Amino acid sequence: MTATQTRAVRFDAPDEDGLARIVIDRPDDSVNAINAEFLEDLADAIHAARAANPRGLIVSSAKPRQWVAGADLKLVTAAREARAPQDASRRLQGVLDELAWLPCTTVAAINGPALGGGLELALACDYRVATDSRDVSLGQPEVNLGLVPAGGGTQRLPRLIGLQRALDLILTGRRLDARRARRLGIVDEVVHPAVLEVAAQAWAARRKRSLDRALRIGLSLQSALDVAEQTPIGRHLIYRRAEKSVLERTHGHYPAPLAALHAVQEGLEHGMAAGLAAETAAFGELATTPTARHLIWLFLATQRQKKRTGVGSARRIERLGVVGAGFMGAAIAELGAASGLSVRMRDVQHEMLARAMAGMRRSLSRRRGVKPAEVLARVSGTTDYTGFRHADLVIEAVFEQVDVKRRVIEELEHVILPEAVIASNTSALPIHELAVGATHPERIVGMHFFSPAQRMPLVEVIQPRGAAEWAVAAAVQAGRRMGKTVIVVADSPGFYTTRVLGVMLNEAALLLSEGARIQDVDRALVGFGFPVGPFVLYDEVGLEVAHHAGETVTEAFGDRLPASPIVPQLVAAGYTGRKARAGFYVWPEDVGRVRRFVHRPQRVEHPAVYRMLDAPPSRSFEPRFIQDRLVLLFVNEAIRCLEEGVLQSATDGDLGAVLGLGFPPFLGGPFHYADALGPGALRQKLEALAQQHGSRYAPSSLLVDRAREGAPFFSNSDKDNDES
C-alpha cells in the first residue's frame, strides 16, 4: 500500500480489496482539532480519493482514543469581524460536501470524541462505526460556546435522525455515548475497539447510502411524531415548541440556540443550500459577540486550570480516607472511587455507612459508562480508623462545628502517617482555627466541595498561612483527579465563594426590610442570568446552613456589612427551608412525579417572613434596581478578595463565581462583568449606591485604583492569561 502523506491528514491508496483510507493525525498535538491547515490537508486527501476511485473509503484517526474533537477555537477568538469565521464555515462546509459527494462508499471509524466539526465530518460519511469505549462521545456542543454548528451539522443531523431528535441535541449541546448514538440512528454499529477496523471494512464494502435513503431509515426508527415532521404544519409546531423551550431555559441571554433553530428551519423549509447559508451567517455573527467570547474564554480557562501548575508538587494520591458518611462524605467517597482511588470511609454509625453505600450505588447506576460494582469495590467502611494508616489524603466531612472538626483532626493525627494530608470539607470555617492544637498544622488544608458534589464542577482548596506546598498540591491533585476545576484561595472568613455569595444573600434579605417582595427579588436575579433567585437558594441550601456560614462572614465584616435579622428568626421558628417545607417560601408536598405533572403544585411566598420583619411588601422595585443592589455588591466583594490576596487571580474569581455559584456564564464572571461596565463606571455606580444605602457599597481600593488608571482586570479577554 502506498501513501500520500500530508501534514495532518494522509490518503492511503486502495488495498487489494479496493478500500482506501483517509487517516487523521495532527502532528505535535494530543488531539485532532480542525484548523485551516487541517482543512486543506483533508481537501487534498479527498481529491486524492476521488482520483483513485476506490470501492470504499474509511476515515479514521491514528491517535489512540482520539478522533476529531471539533474546531480549533483560535479560529473564533482571533476574529474581529464576522467575515473571517464565515469564510472558515464556508470552507468547512465545502470540504465536507466534497466528501459526501464522493462516488464511493464512505465510513467514519470513530475511536474517540466526535464533537462539533468532528461529528459533522462523520455525518458527511455514508456510515459511522464507533467503539464502545468511554472515550467516545458524539455531539454538537457549539451552543454551549455561544456558537452554532458551522460545517453543516444543522442540515445533515435532522435529515439523518429526524427534526425533533436533532433539535434535542443541537439546541442543548448534549453529548452522547456510542450506544445512545446508535439508538438514535447517528451511529450504525458499536463495536469493541479491537475490531473497529474490521467492522469499518465491512461497512465500506456496502452500497453507498444516499441522503434521501438515510432520511427514510432515520425516520422509520422513530415514533408517530415523525408523521408530523413530514407536514409543514407539524414542523411549524415543533419549531414553535422548541423556540418556547429555548426562551424558558435561556431567558433570552443566549442567542445561539435560536440561531441554530433558524438554520435548521431554513434548511428543511427552503433547501439545504439555504440552510447552509443561514448556518454560515449565524456562525460569523455569533463569533464576535461578547456572549461567545465569554463562553469560549470560560471553556479555555477551565481547560488551562486543569493543567495549571504553581502549587508545588506532591506524591501521587492513591488512597483516600473520608471521615463522615453523611450526604457530602458519601459524595466525596463516590467521586474518589470513581476516579480510581482506593477509599476508606469512616462513620460512628453502621447505619450511616450502609445508607452511604446504598446512595452511592443509586447515584452510580445513573451515570453512563460507569460500572457501579467496579467502583463500589474500591470503597470500604469502618466505624473506627482501621485502614486509615496508609491513607495519602484524608478528607473530613463531619458537622460544621469547630470542636467536632478539631476532635476528628486530633484523632487522625494519632493514626495516619506524618506525610499524609488532612483536608477539612467546610464552606466557611477558618482552617487555621481547626488546626489549633494540631501536631502538624502544616499538613492541614481545606477542600470546599459544592453540593451536589457529584455534579458541581468546582472545588475550592483553602491554603492557610503556614500550610506546606506539598499539602496544598495534594488537595489540588485529588480535586483534579475527581474531574473538578480547582481554585486555590487563602484562608479567610468565608474564603471566596461563601463570602461573595453571603454578601449578596444578606443584601437580598435587607431588601425585604425595605418593602420588596420575595418573588420580585428572585425574578430579578433570574432575569439577570442566575439559575435561581436568592430566596429559592436560601431554601434549597437550608436556612440553618446558610445562617451558620453567614455568621462567619458577618462576624468578620460586620462593621461594613449589617446583617439582616430575618434568617436567624426563621431558623428559630423552625422554618429552615425546603426540607421543612417552609422557609422564605411554603413548599408543596412531594406528591410524586405523576401527580406533580397533573396538579403542578407551586411554591408560594411564606407570609410569616413579612410578619417577622414587620415590613409587608409595600414597594415595587424595578428589576434593574434589584440587580444593581445585589450584583454590584457581589462584584465589589469579589474585587476586595483579589485585593486582599484571598484570590490568586481574576481568572480564579471568575471561574469560582461561574462554576461554584452560578454567576451568569454569558457575562464571563464578576471580573469580566466589571470590565464590561468599565472600572470607572462601576466605581461611579457603587459610589451612588453608597450615598443612598450605606458604606457597604463603597468601592474597594483596588477598584478605585483601576478606575483611576483606566486599567481593566483583563487586558484582553481573548488571551490566555492576561489579567493584570
Choosing from 279, 413, 460, 507, the catalytic residue is: 460
In 567-712, the DSSP E strands lie at 585-586, 604-605
Q: Are 46 and 82 in contact (CB under 8 A)?
A: no
Listing DSSP states for 102-163 in one string gives: -SSEEEEEE-S-EETHHHHHHHTSSEEEEE--TT--EE-GGGGGT---SSSHHHHHHHHH-H
How far are the Cα atoms of 306, 395, 457, 704 from residue 299, in angstroms, in the given order?
Answer: 11, 29, 12, 30
Q: Which of 530, 480, 514 is nearest to 631 (CA)?
A: 530
Greatest alpha-carbon pair distance for the chain in Å reads 88
How far are the Cα atoms of 318, 338, 418, 458, 713 from residue 333, in angstroms, in the given order?
Answer: 13, 8, 22, 16, 38
Helix (H) or strand (E) holding 447: strand 444-449
Q: Which of 157, 197, 153 is nearest to 58 (CA)?
A: 197
3-class SS of residue 56: strand
How far are the Cα atoms of 419, 421, 461, 604, 718 from residue 316, in angstroms, in the given order?
Answer: 12, 12, 17, 51, 34
Q: Which of 108, 233, 216, 98 is nearest to 152 (CA)?
A: 98
Please name every residue paired with 344 in a beta bridge, in sequence order, or none if there are none.
Answer: 321, 380
List, in order, residues 6 or more apart from 600 with CB less than 8 Å away: none
- Residue 564 DSSP symbol: P
Taking the C-alpha atoms of residue 458 and residue 501, their distance in angstroms, rounded to an integer, is 15
Q: What is the CA radius of gyration of the chain?
A: 28
Question: Is 411 tagged catalytic?
Answer: no
Residue type, 681: A
List, in order, residues 6 or more apart from 297 with CB less than 8 Å away: 668, 672, 717, 718
As given in the structure block, the three cell numbers for residue 286 are: 455569533
How far are the Cα atoms of 4, 12, 23, 57, 627 from residue 48, in angstroms, in the given order?
Answer: 8, 9, 13, 11, 59
What order do you get walking across the sheet with 105-110 strand by strand? Answer: 3-4, 9-12, 19-24, 56-61, 105-110, 127-131, 189-191
User: Would you say how long the chain is, in residues?
Assistant: 724
Side-chain-side CA neighbours of 51 within 13 Å: the count stands at: 10
Taking the C-alpha atoms of residue 263 and residue 285, their distance in angstroms, rounded to an integer, is 13
3-class SS of residue 409: helix
- Residue 55 DSSP symbol: S
Taking the C-alpha atoms of residue 184 and residue 557, their distance in angstroms, rounded to an integer, is 55
Taking the C-alpha atoms of residue 9 and residue 43, their distance in angstroms, rounded to an integer, is 9
Taking the C-alpha atoms of residue 591 and residue 599, their distance in angstroms, rounded to an integer, is 9
Helix (H) or strand (E) holding 551: helix 543-557
How far are the Cα atoms of 30, 319, 652 from residue 298, in angstroms, in the given order?
Answer: 21, 32, 11
3-class SS of residue 239: helix
Taking the C-alpha atoms of residue 274 and residue 375, their distance in angstroms, rounded to an integer, is 50
Catalytic residues: 460
